[in-house]
Amino acid sequence: MRAALVSSVSASVSAPVSLLPLAVERTYPTELAAAVARGAVVVDVRTNAQRDVQGTLPGALAISAELVADRLDPSNPGRLAVAVDQDVEWILVSAEGADSHRLVTGLQQQGLRRVTHMVGGYDAIKSAHMVRAVTQAQHILADVERVTAH
C-alpha cells in the first residue's frame, strides 16, 4: 500500500505542471483605481439608454457590446488605436455585470489574455463611490490634456 502511494506521489510530482496563470475574469470596484493606475483601459459596454438612466463613467471608452470584440482585437482593421496586442488590460463595465461577464468569455476565447469584467457593473462602481476613479489614471489625464490643448 505504501509503495503504491509513493509511486502515485512520484508520478504526480514528475508530471508536467502548467506555469501559465489562471485567467482572471473579474475586477471588483475597490480594485478599479489601482487597475487604471497601472494602465488598464475601462470600456463601458452599456447602451446609451442605460448611460442616460444610470450616469456616465468619465474616462471610460463607450463601445456598444456588439462592436467590442472588433474594437479590442489587435488584428482587426477596425480596432482601437490602444488595442496594440493581446496583453492590453481591459475592464468591461455593463449595467449590472452580467452582460460584461458574457463578453469576457468570448474575448478570452479570441485570445485577449487580460480582459476582465466589473463585478456588479456600473451599479457597484457607483455604490463604491468609484465613478471618478477612471479619470485619475495618468494615461487618461494625458489624453485629456492632449485633446483640450488643441
**10-63 tens-digit pLDDT:** 343 443 433 444 355 899 999 999 999 999 999 999 999 999 999 999 999 999
The values of phi and psi at residue 41, to 5°, are: -105, 125
Of residues 142, 121, 137, the one with CA closest to residue 51: 121
**What residues have CB less than 8 Å from 73, skipping those under 6 apart?**
79, 83, 110, 112
How confident is the model at residue 140, as a pLDDT?
A: 55
Average pLDDT over residues 68-95: 93
pTM: 0.77
Indicate whether 146 pLDDT > 80: no
Give start and end residues of each alpha helix (H) in 44-133. 48-54, 68-72, 98-109, 121-127
Assess contact for 89 and 114: CB atoms under 8 A: yes
Q: How far apart are CA 42 and CA 50, in angstroms?
A: 17
pLDDT band at 3 (very low <50, low <70, confident <90, very high): very low
Q: Quick one: pLDDT at residue 135?
A: 82
List phi, psi (to 5°) of 38.
-90, 0
Q: What does the pLDDT read at residue 142?
A: 55
Where residue 143 falls among pLDDT bands split at 50, 70, 90? low
Distance CA 88, CA 20 (A): 17
- pLDDT for 40: 92
What's the N-to-C CA distance of the chain in angstroms? 78
